[in-house]
Structure 1
């Protein structure tokens, strides 16, 4: 069942759980994620950021959308970290049902103007919009873009941003980073700040950089107003670590000999996140 982000996250917002947003970058990953969500009866957001879209190409989108339509659970196909109006337009034309416009590195007024423009375009065709306020850290060169120093979201700014842009969901900065944390870095979420933001704005909140964070903090966030948690690095590490292990057998060459174990590794991670976010069984609410 294909939905836009407003319809998908609205249910999570009213029922205090978080929908997993799994980044996919090939069809095998898509199959593993959707299969796990159907087994656990979890709604899911299939997130594809511009780098991933450049890898798979927009020609793959009709297949992704067809799988979402056929699925027995609610699915949103979402552009992750769109950086410009042009990228958003490409996504909408390709059939994405939700888009993110990330103006978080811009001055506040420029972020408002860019986000409001995307909202005007997307809402005209029934596509939902996620904005971002504050910045997410970055742990390594393989991670999505982020900043060396996290700029935390101010609750008063969040109120103004939501009112002036009309966004459907808001990605906030409470201490997460994109990528996998090195041993020298201890992640810590500002759950007190999350509580303040939740009290100030009444729309679904989004947590980027959800990979590699302590389960107890992520689990509490999912019960405290965060309704979408992005997981990219964790599933990609599982997938490609399994692939490296499989490929030590140099006699293998067929996808059906190589990829099933890689897909199974993704499914283990996806299932753990679904349970942690409180999303298991929630497809029955739609």
Structure 2
């Protein structure tokens, strides 16, 4: 069933688990993510970033919406990391049921202003809004030391309370030590779990973790126990999906998608299933 992010994450917040938000960039990935979520009876967020939307086009949205309506698990279709009010309007117009506005790189007052504007518009038509406070790093895998291009600015707990009160966001992405992309092997990611605890103690709304690819499973699992209710997964599933596809395409005689893509989907589903279990989301569809 298709629902908005508020309903989806309220149950996760109440029952202390995290809903995986899987970023997809084609129909085959989406089909596989629906299937594994239904197999595991896990609630699902299908996340699509503006760059991914530019690739798949808006015409795929009706198909995803139709697939969500007939799904045996609750599903939200989420506009991920929208950067402008105009992008939020596009998400609303094309059928997304959850919208993220990421103005975290702007000064605090500007972030509040644009986020509140998106919230006011989205709430008027029954959609949920995720905001972001603090900045999540972005790793440069080409750099010699693998350090972040944009360093992490950790979420300030007091600012988080003010931000939520003034904007009315339904969920908040917090910066506690993650970075987008895959970590170089010599870089050891580490979450500030004490900071997460402090923020969760002050805020009743669901908290969101971005950039968790490559963080140790034990650390991510602990973050779920401490109050994270949505975790974005993009690089982890895309890498295994496309690695398997390259492996299959080593046979130059193959040309039919129903021969090439199924092994890639199967490999992706294995990773997705592990994330669902790690987030304690398996079986939770029965709570809705």
Alignment partner, residue 12 of structure 1:
12
Aligned: 1:228 with 2:227: no
Aligned: 1:156 with 2:134: no
Deviation at 1:11, TM superposition (A): 0.1
Alpha-carbon distance in structure 2 between the residues aligned to 1:158 and 1:213: 24
Alignment partner, residue 275 of structure 1:
277
Structure 1: stretches of 5+ with no match in the other structure: none
Alpha-carbon distance in structure 1 between the residues aligned to 2:125 and 2:204: 23
**Aligned with 2:251: secondary structure?**
coil
Alignment partner, residue 23 of structure 1:
23
Alpha-carbon distance in structure 1 between the residues aligned to 2:214 and 2:30: 21
Alpha-carbon distance in structure 1 between the residues aligned to 2:149 and 2:287: 37
Alignment partner, residue 145 of structure 2:
none
What's the CA shift string for 1:35-75, capped at 9, x where partnerless?
00000000010000000000000111000000000100000
Alignment partner, residue 66 of structure 2:
66
Aligned: 1:88 with 2:88: yes
Instruction: Write out aligned runs for 1:112-151 (5 A).
Output: 112-140=112-140, 148-151=150-153
What's the CA shift string for 1:175-231, capped at 9, x where partnerless?
001000001211000000000000011100000012111000000111111000000
Alpha-carbon distance in structure 1 between the residues aligned to 2:185 and 2:17: 30
Alignment partner, residue 100 of structure 1:
100
User: Which residue of the other structure, out of 242, 255, 258, is the alignment partner of 2:257?
Assistant: 255
Structure 2: stretches of 5+ with no match in the other structure: 143-147
Alpha-carbon distance in structure 2 between the residues aligned to 1:266 and 1:74: 21
TM-score, normalised by the number of residues in structure 2: 0.97
TM-score, normalised by the number of residues in structure 1: 0.98
Instruction: Write out aligned runs for 1:191-210 (5 A).
Output: 191-210=193-212
Alignment partner, residue 190 of structure 1:
192
Alpha-carbon distance in structure 2 between the residues aligned to 1:235 and 1:125: 32
C-alpha RMSD of the superposition: 1.1
Q: Are the counterparts in 2 of residues 131 and 171 from structure 1 also a CA contact under 8 Å?
A: yes
